[in-house]
C-alpha cells in the first residue's frame, strides 16, 4: 500500500503514510475503503444525484472509537473531513473531493425504553428505523416526513414534521447526546453536562462535532392516526390558501395541515384524467383521538370542490412513509426556501405565477405550518431561533437529466426571488442549498454570535466545516 494524498483545509494536499493508514485499519471496528474498494461508491453515493464527489479515503465507522480515530486522523493532517449520516441533506456536504469521508451509516441501532419513554438512536439510523422501533410500543418523537432521511442531520438542523405542533421540534425532544469534538474526545452533553455544547447542537448543524448517539424523549402516538390527502384543482388554490392560513393558525395542536402544489402523481385514489395536471393537495395528520380528529379535520375537508380525497386511519409509521415514492434517491434536486408569517394575497399571487410554470413533473412547492408546542419555546432556548408560529415554504425542484439543470434551477430561483418581498427573513438551515452560504446568519439570527463563540471553544480551527458553516469567533470575540 502507498501513501494517500489528502486535500487539506487550506486547499493544498498532504500525505497520510501507508503505515499510518494500515495502523488505522488494524484498529477500526468498522473498516475503511479506498477508491475502487468494496463499499467506497456506496458510501459516497447520496440522495441528491447532483452530488458526485470522490473522497480519497472513506472510514466506515462502527462505534464512537472509530469516530474518534477518524477525527484524530483528519486533525493531524489538517485534512478536509465530511460526515455522512443518512446522506439526505440537499447541499450534499456529506461528501467531499479529495479528503476524508466519515461514514456513519452502519451505526443504525435504535434501543427503546418504553417504561422511561426514551430511545437511544445511532447517527446512521433513518427516520424509518426510528419510527418502526418506537411505534412497536405506540411511541414516537417528532421527526420529518421522508422515512429515508437520516436522524442525525435532521436533528442537528432542528427537525419538524407531523407531530411537531403537539410535541415540539426534534431538538425539543433531545435529552442528551454523545459527541466527539475536534480534539477527538467523546463528550456526553445534556442540559446539565456540557450545556453550552448541548445548546449548540440543537439546531447548529454539524459544526461542533460528530454525534455518535442521540437520546430522545418519546410520546404516546397512535399506533393509528387520522390522516390523508385532500386534492383540489390548482385554479382554486388562491382562495383555498387564504382559508388554509386561518385554519392552520387556529387548529388544535394535534392537527397539522400542510399544502402541496404540484402536478398530480398517478396515485390510485386520484382520477386518471387528473394525473399530470396541476393540483393543490392538503396533507393532514391528527395525532390525538380519532373521533376528535374527525371534528378537527371537518373544516379542511369542507373547503371547495375536491378532485379526490383519501383520509382515514392508518398506522402512524406507515403515514411517515407516504411521501417516500415521491422522494426516492437517484434524482437531481435543488431547493429554495422562505419562512412566512402569513400567506398574504401578494405572496400567494407570486407563488401561483411560479407554480403554473413547473419545469418538470416531479417539481413541487410545499408549505408547512409550524406552531403549537414548537412556538412555546423561547428563541434563546436552542440554537434554532425561529419559534414564532409561521409557514415554511420549500421550493422542491426535482428532475432526472443533467441537461435540465439550468432550467430547473432557474425556475426555483425565480420563484424564490418573486416571493422574497413577503418573507420573514429567516430560513430553516436544513433547506439551504450549497450556493446560499450567505444565508447561514439568517438561519441563526440573534443566536449567531453565541454559536460562533461556542465554535471557537470546541473547534477553533474549523475542522468541521463541511456543513452550513459557522466560523469560529476570533479569540477576542470568544473571550468577550
218-234 pLDDT, tens digit per residue, is: 999 999 999 999 999 99
pLDDT at 478: 62
pLDDT at 475: 58
Integer Cα distance of 212 and 353 in angstroms:
45
Would 110-220 and 224-438 be classified into the same CATH topology?
Answer: no
74-101 pLDDT, tens digit per residue, is: 999 999 999 999 999 999 999 999 999 9
298-315 pLDDT, tens digit per residue, is: 999 999 999 999 999 999
Are the C-beta atoms of 205 and 429 separated by less than 8 Å? yes
pLDDT at 370: 98
Integer Cα distance of 216 and 202 in angstroms:
12
On the question of pLDDT at 398 being above 70, the answer is yes
Residue 143's CB is within 10 A of a number of other CB atoms, namely: 28
Integer Cα distance of 168 and 374 in angstroms:
4
Are the C-beta atoms of 155 and 171 separated by less than 8 Å? yes
What kind of architecture, by CATH, is found in domain 224-438? 3-Layer(aba) Sandwich (3.40)
**Burial (Cβ within 10 Å: 0-12, 13-18, ≥19) of residue 10:** exposed
Are the C-beta atoms of 55 and 96 separated by less than 8 Å? yes
Mean pLDDT value across residues 377-382: 98
**Burial (Cβ within 10 Å: 0-12, 13-18, ≥19) of residue 383:** buried
Q: What is the mean pLDDT of the chain?
A: 97
Are the C-beta atoms of 451 and 207 separated by less than 8 Å? yes
Among residues 118, 133, 113, the alpha carbon closest in space to that of 176 is found at 118
402-441 pLDDT, tens digit per residue, is: 999 999 999 999 999 999 999 999 999 999 999 999 999 9
Among residues 109, 163, 114, the alpha carbon closest in space to that of 137 is found at 114
Would you place residue 472 in the very low, low, confident or very high pLDDT band (cuts 50, 70, 90)? Answer: very high
Based on C-alpha coordinates, what's the Rg of the chain? Answer: 22
pLDDT at 476: 46
CA 32 to chain CA mean position, Å: 27
pLDDT at 477: 60
Are the C-beta atoms of 475 and 456 separated by less than 8 Å? yes
Which letter does DSSP use for residue 303 in this model?
S
- What lies within 8 Å, CB to CB, of 156 at 6+ separation is 201, 203, 204, 205, 206, 211
pLDDT at 341: 98
Angle between helices 290-301 and 237-250 (to 10 degrees): 150
Among residues 246, 236, 232, the alpha carbon closest in space to that of 344 is found at 246
Among residues 178, 163, 161, 160, the alpha carbon closest in space to that of 120 is found at 178
Q: How far is CA 463 from CA 8, 74, 111, 246, 409, in A?
A: 10, 8, 31, 46, 31
Residue 345's CB is within 10 A of a number of other CB atoms, namely: 11
In the chain, the percentage of residues whose pLDDT exceeds 90 is 98
Residue 181's CB is within 10 A of a number of other CB atoms, namely: 21
Are the C-beta atoms of 332 and 403 separated by less than 8 Å? no
Would you place residue 474 in the very low, low, confident or very high pLDDT band (cuts 50, 70, 90)? Answer: confident
147-185 pLDDT, tens digit per residue, is: 999 999 999 999 999 999 999 999 999 999 999 999 999
Mean pLDDT value across residues 201-207: 98
pLDDT at 2: 87
Which letter does DSSP use for residue 8 in this model?
B
Strand ordering across the sheet containing 255-263: 308-315, 224-233, 278-286, 255-263, 364-370, 390-399, 332-340
Mean pLDDT value across residues 343-370: 97
What kind of architecture, by CATH, is found in domain 4-103? 2-Layer Sandwich (3.30)
The CATH number of the structural domain formed by 110-220 is: 3.30.465.10
Are the C-beta atoms of 438 and 186 separated by less than 8 Å? no
pLDDT at 442: 96
Q: What residue ranges do the domains of the chain occupy?
A: 4-103, 110-220, 224-438
Residue 341 φ/ψ, nearest 5 degrees: -80, -25
Amino acid at each position: 500500500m502507498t501513501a494517500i494524498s489528502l486535500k487539506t483545509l487550506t486547499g493544498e494536499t498532504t500525505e497520510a503514510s501507508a503505515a499510518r493508514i494500515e495502523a488505522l485499519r488494524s484498529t477500526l471496528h468498522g473498516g475503511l475503503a479506498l477508491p475502487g474498494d468494496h463499499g467506497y461508491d456506496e458510501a459516497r453515493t447520496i440522495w441528491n444525484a447532483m452530488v458526485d464527489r470522490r473522497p480519497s479515503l472513506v472510514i466506515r465507522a462502527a462505534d464512537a472509537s472509530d469516530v474518534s480515530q477518524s477525527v484524530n486522523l483528519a486533525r493531524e493532517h489538517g485534512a478536509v473531513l465530511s460526515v455522512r449520516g443518512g446522506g439526505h441533506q440537499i447541499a450534499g456536504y456529506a461528501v467531499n473531493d479529495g479528503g476524508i469521508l466519515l461514514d456513519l451509516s452502519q451505526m443504525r441501532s435504535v434501543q427503546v425504553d418504553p417504561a422511561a419513554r426514551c430511545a437511544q438512536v445511532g447517527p446512521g439510523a433513518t427516520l424509518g428505523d426510528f419510527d418502526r422501533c418506537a411505534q412497536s410500543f405506540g411511541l414516537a418523537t417528532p421527526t420529518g416526513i421522508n422515512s429515508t432521511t437520516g436522524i442525525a442531520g435532521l436533528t442537528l438542523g432542528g427537525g419538524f414534521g407531523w407531530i411537531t405542533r403537539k410535541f415540539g421540534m426534534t431538538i425539543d425532544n433531545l435529552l442528551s447526546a454523545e459527541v466527539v469534538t475536534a480534539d477527538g474526545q467523546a463528550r456526553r452533553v445534556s442540559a446539565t453536562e456540557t450545556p453550552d455544547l448541548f445548546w449548540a447542537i440543537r439546531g447548529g448543524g454539524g459544526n461542533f462535532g460528530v454525534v455518535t448517539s442521540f437520546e430522545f424523549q418519546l410520546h404516546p402516538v397512535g399506533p393509528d392516526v387520522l390522516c390523508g390527502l385532500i386534492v383540489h384543482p390548482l385554479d382554486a388554490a388562491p382562495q383555498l390558501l387564504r382559508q388554509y392560513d386561518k385554519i392552520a393558525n387556529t387548529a388544535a395542536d394535534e392537527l397539522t395541515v400542510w399544502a402541496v402544489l404540484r402536478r398530480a402523481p398517478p396515485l390510485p385514489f386520484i382520477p386518471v384524467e387528473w394525473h399530470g395536471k396541476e393540483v393543490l393537495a392538503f396533507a393532514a395528520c391528527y395525532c390525538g383521538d380519532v373521533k376528535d380528529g374527525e371534528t378537527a379535520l371537518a373544516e379542511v375537508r369542507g373547503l371547495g370542490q375536491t378532485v379526490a380525497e383519501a383520509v382515514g386511519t392508518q398506522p402512524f409509521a406507515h403515514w411517515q412513509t407516504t411521501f417516500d415514492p415521491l422522494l426516492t434517491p437517484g434524482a437531481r434536486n435543488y431547493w429554495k426556501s422562505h419562512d412566512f408569517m402569513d400567506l398574504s394575497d401578494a405572496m400567494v399571487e407570486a407563488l401561483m405565477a411560479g407554480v403554473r410554470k413547473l419545469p418538470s413533473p416531479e417539481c413541487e412547492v410545499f408549505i408547512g405550518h409550524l406552531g403549537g408546542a414548537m412556538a412555546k419555546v423561547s428563541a434563546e432556548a436552542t440554537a434554532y431561533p425561529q419559534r414564532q408560529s409561521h409557514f415554511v415554504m420549500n421550493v422542491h425542484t426535482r428532475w432526472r437529466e443533467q441537461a435540465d439543470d439550468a432550467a430547473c434551477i432557474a425556475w426555483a430561483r425565480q420563484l424564490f426571488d418573486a416571493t422574497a418581498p413577503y418573507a420573514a427573513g429567516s430560513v430553516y438551515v436544513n433547506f439551504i442549498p450549497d450556493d446560499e452560504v450567505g444565508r447561514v446568519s439568517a438561519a441563526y439570527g440573534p443566536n449567531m454570535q453565541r454559536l460562533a463563540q461556542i465554535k471557537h471553544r470546541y473547534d477553533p480551527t474549523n475542522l468541521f466545516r463541511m456543513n452550513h458553516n459557522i466560523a469560529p469567533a476570533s479569540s477576542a470575540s470568544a473571550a468577550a
